[in-house]
Amino acid sequence: MKVRKAIITAAGWGTRFLPVTRSQPKEMLPLVNRPLIQYAVEEAINSGIEQVILITAMGKHAIEDYFDRSFELEYVLEQKGETELLQEMRRLSNLVNICYIRQKEQLGLGHAVLIARDIIADEPFAVLLPDDIIDSRVPALKQMIEVYEQRGTSVIAVERVSPQDTVKYGIIEPKEISHRLYQVLSLAEKPEPQEAPSDLGIVGRYILVPEIFDALAATPPGRIKEIQLTDALQRLLKQQVISACEFEGVRYDTGTPSGWLEATIALALKDPDIGPGLRQYLRRLL
Ligand code: UTP
């Protein structure tokens, strides 16, 4: 069955980016010239996704407004003769079919996925965490959908992490199937380096089969009262094979000020309009 739907989870508090996130969703922070959330939506579209289910929460209405149509703005741009900008604004409003679900209580990533159950129904689906920005030739989600089509299992995105960072990630115990493709034998949530089963850390892209919903519903809240997606994956692993895809591309964690800055500089340097000037400026500065 084709992967047609994607959940983008954007309901978290963004505590690592306080105080900015007191009154602004972190998903609306700009990365060069687009908000973070647009990268996730465009990655989904470029991977063949037909419907996006965006999980939001109180204080996140700027995300809904961003993808909505603004007749007033279009009128103003039309009057000013800004044809190119006008077309870009219209393109944004028509990017893809998006539906929104508000998570009323932030009970974790697992809970955010679970509340989309009725809309996903009985088909495989993607999950994207918008603060993980992946810069790659082939969209990371597309690489994962290809693995799903080949193996018919859930697929987790993984990347190599340094030993001191295993405590920040879910880490898989892998059995290599082929180049950059693994079967997941077990999962460890944020293990100490000496207990980590490998250096392959889970990052924010998943292809999940609908059976994950029963696993999520049966998963009790764990750490800090949140329902963890990793716990539900552990549960699913008892019944089904799960694969892991070491995608090709560079990932940035834009959920922290330093990660966001690194992504901003790296992507701006690649931008044909901004890059050359920025490179010169950085040389002068350093
Ligand atoms: P994080 O663990 O990164 O939390 O969530 P966060 O709130 O975004 O950021 P920090 O850690 O407090 O700074 C991982 C993903 O799960 C979503 C987040 O929006 C993010 O995409 N999430 C998390 C929800 O949608 N709902 C939740 O209850 C928790």
Phi then psi dihedrals of residue 119, to 5 deg = -80, -35
CA distance linking residue 275 with residue 240, whole number of Å: 46
Q: What are the contacts of 106-109 at 24+ separation with CB within 8 A?
A: 106/11, 106/12, 106/13, 106/57, 106/226, 107/221, 107/225, 107/226, 107/227, 108/221, 108/225, 108/226, 108/227, 108/228, 108/229, 109/9, 109/12, 109/226, 109/227, 109/228, 109/229
35 Cβ inside 6 Å of ligand 1: no
Pocket probe mutation, ligand 1, options 28, 53, 131, max atoms within 8 Å of Cβ: 131
CA of 182 to the centre of ligand 1 (A): 26
pTM across the whole model: 0.94
pLDDT recorded at residue 224:
80
Burial of 62: CB neighbours in 10 Å, binned 0-12, 13-18, 19+: middle
9 Cβ inside 6 Å of ligand 1: yes
pLDDT recorded at residue 92:
87
Give the atom of ligand 1 at the shortest distance from the alpha carbon of 255. Answer: 13
164: left (phi over 0), alpha (psi -120 to 50) or beta: alpha
Domains of the chain (ranges, CATH numbers): 5-251 (3.90.550.10), 256-286 (no CATH)
Residues in the chain where the model's pLDDT stays below 50: none
CA of 200 to the centre of ligand 1 (A): 21
pLDDT recorded at residue 42:
96
pLDDT recorded at residue 107:
94
